[in-house]
Amino acid sequence: MATPDRPRPSFDKLGLVIGIVAAAAAGAPFATFRANRIVPGEGRAIWEALPAGWATALLLVVAGAALVAMLRSPAPARLAAALAALATLALLIGTAAHHLTPPDNAYARVAPASGFWLLGFAFALLAADALTRLQLSATARIAALAAVAAAIWLLLALGAWDGLSLLKEYANRADRFWAEGARHLALALGSLAAAIVAGIPLGILCHRVSGLRDAVLNLLNMIQTIPSIALFGLLIAPLGWIAANLPGASVIGIRGIGAAPAALALFLYSLLPMVANTVVGLAQVPAAANDAARGMGMTARQRLTRIELPLALPVILAGIRIVLVQNIGLATIAALIGGGGFGVFVFQGLGQTAMDLVLLGAVPTVALAFAAAILLDAAVELTAAPGSRV
């Protein structure tokens, strides 16, 4: 009697890519050891960077998570495998730092190497794929972000990463790190607030006056095409003239270099998304809603504040999301003209060929942009009408 064919395993296309990347990363250097912060580093593979037991455990977790990724497994299983792999990587990179650093050596530096970053990328991709398949609600995504932030805070509070060179750079600059972080947020949020105050009324005006719309949007498009560093430079001369010739201008912070040209440039970059999204949001308001409001005797102002703006809010929030994420990134370049922010560490690190110092500025910038995108995406979804998608 013929035996029935056994079902063949079904493979996931994205999972195969994740598995290939994980396999390549497992053989790449996991950590980099340097005698001090400036000299070139020596890559250490997983079995060199970790004690034997931990190295074996990491390889088993990586192999298991890669297998789950490659097979067509349920989304919860994929998410659990990704989180297990990412948590193991986060814990063991700190272990590698303590394992590789000689006792009582304050000069040695240990940093994550290409293998760690590739493994992190592979399993972050797996987690993102699983979360997409699960289609989490807005509140669930916010809760997930809070859980990740809490886990990172716990690792930092317990000192799990204290041996890493990035944390050593932070320990030497803790006060300045928070001061520059405050400047970075002030630039990003201040320019966003100014863009909201100016951009939404301008968008309403462009929606009402069709002849003005094309001229304003074309002008803002032209500003958007100017490279950021060029726009920062172009603003130095006029602001410097204002500071030199108008009494009191320098007293309130207007100068050719510093925060003033940086904030003005970010404000100008922010106007296009704010104005354009306001125009698009108002244009999408159903005519029937306005007709009904007119029938109820509402004035033009009442229709705007009670009908049009609430219905356009999801699209306007999408513009705010674009602006905030954009400004968090662009604020890094403000350091080149004395504007401060996390870019100070990025450019200092580049000048000193100290990549850990570069990461001290780059990592919080990326984290802030990522968190802002998730929170404002959730806000857009929560304010959208039932059944609509922005």
Quickly state the pLDDT bin for 292 (edges 50, 70, 90).
confident
Convert the pLDDT of each residue in 135-160 to its tens digit. 888 899 899 999 999 999 999 999 89
For residue 253, report the phi and psi dihedrals to the nearest 5 degrees.
100, 5
- Over 90: is that where the pLDDT of 180 sits? yes
Q: What is the pLDDT of residue 67?
A: 94
Convert the pLDDT of each residue in 219-230 to its tens digit. 999 888 888 778
Buried b (16+ CB within 10 A) or exposed e, 258-285: bbbbbbbbbbbbbbbbbbbbbbbbbeeb
Tokens of 6: 């056994």
Quickly state the pLDDT bin for 6 (edges 50, 70, 90).
low
Quickly state the pLDDT bin for 390 (edges 50, 70, 90).
very low
pLDDT over 90 percentage in the chain = 49
CA distance 80 to 57: 17
Strand spans (E) along 241-327: none
Buried b (16+ CB within 10 A) or exposed e, 179-189: ebbebbbbbbe
Q: Give the residue, 99 or 104, on which the prediction is more confident.
A: 99
User: DSSP letter at 108?
Assistant: -
39-62 mean pLDDT: 92
CB count in 10 Å sphere of residue 75: 14
198-212 mean pLDDT: 89
pTM: 0.84
Indicate the pairing of strand 42-44 with strand 109-112: unpaired
**Cα angle 292, 293, 296; round to 5:** 90
- Over 90: is that where the pLDDT of 302 sits? no
For residues 131 and 185, the answer to whether their CB atoms sit within 8 Å is no
- Over 70: is that where the pLDDT of 353 sits? yes
Quickly state the pLDDT bin for 177 (edges 50, 70, 90).
very high
Strand spans (E) along the chain: 31-34, 42-44, 109-112
- Over 50: is that where the pLDDT of 303 sits? yes
Task: Provide the CA 352 distance to its chain's centre, in angstroms.
Answer: 25
**Domains of the chain, with CATH numbers?**
13-168 (no CATH), 174-383 (1.10.3720.10)
